[in-house]
Each structure stands twice: as structure tokens, then as C-alpha cells.
Amino acid sequence: MTDKFRAIRVSKAESGQTAELVELSLGDLMEGDVTVAVEYSTVNYKDGLALTGKAPVVRTWPLIPGIDFAGTVEASTHANFKPGDHVVLNGYGVGESHNGGYAQKARVKGDWLVKRPGGISSAHAMAIGTAGYTAMLCVLALEHGGVTPDKGDILVTGAAGGVGSVAIALLAKLGYRVIASTGRASEADYLKGLGAADIIDRNELSGPAKALGKERWAGVVDAVGSNTLANAISMTRYGGTVAACGLAQGMDLPGSVAPFILRGVTLAGIDSVQAPMAKRVEAWSRLAKDLDMKKLDAMTTRIALKDVLDIGPKILAGQVRGRVVVDVNA
């Protein structure tokens, strides 16, 4: 095991937050019972916030950001993991209050790790990343709500982003008819390629919502929040389910209780960070089964570790399409 490794590190300076590529030693890592040779990480919206300091995501300084990674166990005193095991990590405060995935090494609690399913390579695991795993949690919530393909269409908001792209590919493969809401009309072919049947302009949903709108979909995967979520709920069919996971438009929810009390609509909150281990294992095993890896490749671009320094503002500006994998050894 070599002691030295490269990492992206954010620090707090008097002039504001800085991010740089640094060489560190294993001794610089935080406590944990499993040391992992990281192979890939990824870029999620929250990573953009951590890299730029646009929201107080980073809780301890200096810190290696990166809320997820895939790699191979190098050393472990945890009963469930041994050297050579292939693992994936999402959330649990990694990349926020514990050193994260933008590094060639990570030391974490074994209780936070999921064994990577056999059908998913390390690079594919991070092409999925936290965004894709969250998309799967949303699909599980729709299924839990009894939303089967025969019940009606599914609306996916923030469609050309990470959560949205994976959600479309998953839902299409499962037989749902997907309506993709996007602000990027130029991505229509991309979204259709992933399996969207219809595309709508996100402006249709971004203004103030009526208490009840025309019933248009049986389920929703919402990565946007605010007026968009309120509109999505107001147009959900009787008995439908709305899975809310994001806030790209805003954290507010300016809507009415009418859809809940008159149409029996369910609002399902989706949290990937503290999701219980059984749910994580279920989501990852379903991703291995229900995600078309060719579509995953079509939505993924790959960058080297140093390129992470430039990408934070781009994801926050909604300029990143699909998923970005970070090869930490490149």
C-alpha cells in the first residue's frame, strides 16, 4: 500500500473558499475501519455546492469533497469487508463532514459501504452515482405507491440532469411512458434516446401552481422542487405518487393541500444520504437489473481528477448533461 495519494481539497481562506489538487498521505485521512483504493467518483449537484461554496455543504475544513465513490478495499478491521472487496459509497456525510471521493484513497466506516453488485463495473457504479441511486429510490417509491405502467404517464423534471436522465432510462425499461420536462429543447433527441415519449418545456411548470390542475400523470420523479413540484402535484391523477428528491429550482413548495385531500395523491420524500442500508442494497441490486448500461454510457462523460476544479459552477448552472464520472487515477 503506498502512503501518498492525490486529492482535491477545499479550504477556507480569509478571501473565501479555495479548491486545489494536492498530494496527501494516509495519515491525513479521517478515522474509519475500512481503507479503500478509490477508482471512480462522480459529480452530483451537491458536489457543485461543495466545490464552489454556493451553499454550506462542507461542514469541516479542510475537506476532500466528493459525496460518492467506487473502489476496492485495501485494509479493513470491519467484519463485513476484507481486502479485495469491491465497494460503493453514497452519502452518509462523506464529502460534507468526512473526507470524500475526489481522492485516490478514502478511509470510511464500513457501516457506510455497499458491496458493488456483480453486474455493475466500478466505472458504471459511478456513472450511476448518487444521482442514479437517488433516481432508483424515486422509482421504488412510485412502485411502493402502487404506480404501475398501466396507471398512466410518469413526469420526470430536471430531465437532462443526472437524476432525471437515469430516472428516464429506468422508467422506460420498466415499461412506463415518460414525459420529460426540460429547459433544454436542444436535448430532445438525447432525452428520446433515453426513452422519453414526450418532452415538455419546463416553463410550463415553473410558474405559480393552481390548487388543482388537469390530471396529466400518475406519478412524478421531481428533481426541481419549488413551483415545479407544486405544479407537478396539482396535475397528478387520483391516487398517484410524487417522489420529491431535489431543489434545482428552489427549496420552497408553494402549493395547496387540495391534491392530497381531494385526489389522494401521495408525496413521497426521497433522501439518499441517510437511507437505511436495506434500502440501499435493494436500490443497487435493482439498478444492476433494471438499468440499460448502453443508455447509461450514452448519458455519461468522463473527466480526470484535476478537471473537478472546473466543473462545480457548470453543474450549478444546469450546463452538465446526464452524468459525469471522475477517474481519480487519471
Give the binding site for ligand NDP (CB under 6 A): 44-46, 130-131, 134, 158-164, 182-184, 202, 206, 223-224, 228, 245-249, 270-273, 315, 318, 320
Measured from the CB of residue 268, what is the shortest distance to ligand NDP in angstroms?
A: 11
- SS3 labels along 89-147: EECCCECCCECCCCECEEEECHHHEEECCCCCCHHHHHHHHHHHHHHHHHHHHHHHCCC
Q: Please say which residue, 108 or 245, places its beta carbon nearer to ligand NDP.
A: 245
CB 148 within 8 A of CB 139: no
CB 157 within 8 A of CB 202: yes
Measured from the CB of residue 168, what is the shortest distance to ligand NDP in angstroms?
A: 10
Measured from the CB of residue 164, what is the shortest distance to ligand NDP in angstroms?
A: 6
What is the β-pairing status of strands 217-222 and 154-157?
A: parallel
Q: What is the separation of C-alpha 329 from the centre of its chain, rounded to a whole number of angstroms?
A: 22
Q: From the CB of residue 226, how many other CB atoms can be counted at a distance below 10 Å?
A: 21
DSSP 292: -
Q: Which residue is nearest to ligand NDP (CB)?
A: 161
Measured from the CB of residue 290, what is the shortest distance to ligand NDP in angstroms?
A: 18
Q: Please say which residue, 73 or 131, places its beta carbon nearer to ligand NDP.
A: 131
Q: Please say which residue, 107 or 280, places its beta carbon nearer to ligand NDP.
A: 280
Strands (E), the chain: 4-13, 16-25, 34-42, 68-76, 86-90, 105-108, 113-115, 154-157, 178-182, 196-201, 217-222, 236-244, 266-269, 300-304, 323-327
Measured from the CB of residue 275, what is the shortest distance to ligand NDP in angstroms?
A: 8
Q: Please say which residue, 131 or 194, places its beta carbon nearer to ligand NDP.
A: 131
Measured from the CB of residue 206, what is the shortest distance to ligand NDP in angstroms?
A: 6
Q: Please say which residue, 193 or 239, places its beta carbon nearer to ligand NDP.
A: 193
CB 89 within 8 A of CB 69: yes
Q: Please say which residue, 35 or 42, places its beta carbon nearer to ligand NDP.
A: 42
